[in-house]
Structure 1
Amino acid sequence: MIELLHASLNWPTLPATVLVAICVLYWLSVIVGVLDFDLLDFDLDFDISADGPSILDFGFIGLRFLNLGEVPIMVWLSIFSLSMWLLSINFDSKAEIQSFMDYLPLFLRNLGISLVVTKLVTQPFKGYFQFTPPNQIETLLGKSCRVTSSTVNEKFGQAELETEGAPLKLHIRSEDETIQKGDLVRLADYNQETQAFYVVKINQES
C-alpha cells in the first residue's frame, strides 16, 4: 500500500493521480449534495457550420468520435483519468524521469491508449444522457395554456402554462380579438424579437 501511494505521488504517475483526485472530489461532492451532477457538464456543440467545414470543424469531429458531447464530460473525464492512472501505475512506476523529454513518450503512449479505452467504455452509453431541458421554446410549442390578461391582441397578452412546479408565465400575442381572460389557447409560434408566443384559441380550431 505504501509503495502504491509513493508511486502515485511521484513522477510519472503524479499528473494522472491529480486528475483522478479531482474526479473523486467531484463525485463525492455530488453524493453529499454540495454540487449538482451537471455543474461541470458543458453543452458541446460539434455541428459543422452551414457555411462549410473548417479546420476547427474537423477537430470537433474528432472529439465527437471520442464520445465527448455524447456523454457527460465528468463521466468521460473520470473514465479517461482512471485509465491514465492505471496505465502509469502499472507500467511506469519504475521509470526514471530526469526531464520532461523522459516523461513525454510515456505520456503520449498512455494518452493514446486511454483515449481508445474511454471511447470503447463510453460507446454503449451514447444516447442515454441526451435530454431536452424543460421549458425550452421547442418543447413549449403546441402546448395549451390559460389566458390571464383581460384580452390578447397583437401588442399585449399574458397566459399561464401549467407545469409540474409553479405555473409558467408567458407573453402571448394574437390577431384574434375575441380571445379573453380565461380562454384556453395553443402556442402556435414564437417571435424571437419580442420574445412572445403567437397563440390560437383552441375552441375555434377545426
Structure 2
Amino acid sequence: MKHNVIGMDIAKSVFQLHAIDPQTGEIERIKLRRQEVLPFFAQRPASLVAMEACGGAHWWARQLIALGHEVRLLPAKAVRPFVLRNKTDAADARAIWTAVQQPEMKTVAIKSEFQQGILALHRLRAQLMKFRHMQTNAIRGLLLEFGYPLPEGYQALRKAFPATLASLEETLPGMLVETLREQWARIQSIDQEIAVIEGRLKQALSET
C-alpha cells in the first residue's frame, strides 16, 4: 500500500506516523520505536515525509532523503493550528500531515552536517560567554561588598583586575584572595576556550 504523504511526530524514543492512502482513503496510524524508524522507511515506497523542525529533525531528514524520500520540515507554529483536539503524539502527527499539504506552506531548509556543526559551535561559544559573564559579575559583587568597585565591561575588567587583585593581598583574608585568583584563572581558561572555538569557526568558514 502506497502512502504519498506521511506526517511524523519525532521524539526521543517513540515516533508517531500518520498517513492516508490516496486511493482508498484508509487511515494508517503507526507507532515506531527509534530503532525501527529507518528500517520502516527503507521498505516504504518513496513518499513525502513531513516533520516539525525541532531537535533532531535535520538528522532524520538527511537519513530519509538518503532512503529516497522527499522531506519537508515545518515550523512548529505553522503546525499548531491544525491540532484539532488534545495534544498527543497521534494528534501532532495528523496535524503535521495536514499542514504540509496546505498551499504555500512555508518550510524550514534542511541543514547539512556542516551547517549544524557551525551552529553547534556558536551555541557552545555563547554558553561559555554566558558562564564568563556570570563569573565576572560574581567577582564584581563580592569585591563591592568589601568596598572595591570594579569597572563595567569585560575588557575593562580584564585590564584592571590583575592590579586590583595584587593590591587586595594586604587587605582581604588570604583564603578569599586565593579563591579570587583561582576564579580569575578559570575565567582566563574560558577565554582560551572561546578563542579556540572562534578560530575553528573562522577556519571552517574560510574553507567553504
Asked if TM exceeds 0.5, the reply is no
TM range (shorter): under 0.3
Q: TM-score, structure 2 length as denominator?
A: 0.25
Give the TM-score of the pair, scaled to structure 1.
0.25
Q: Which has the larger share of helix? A: 2
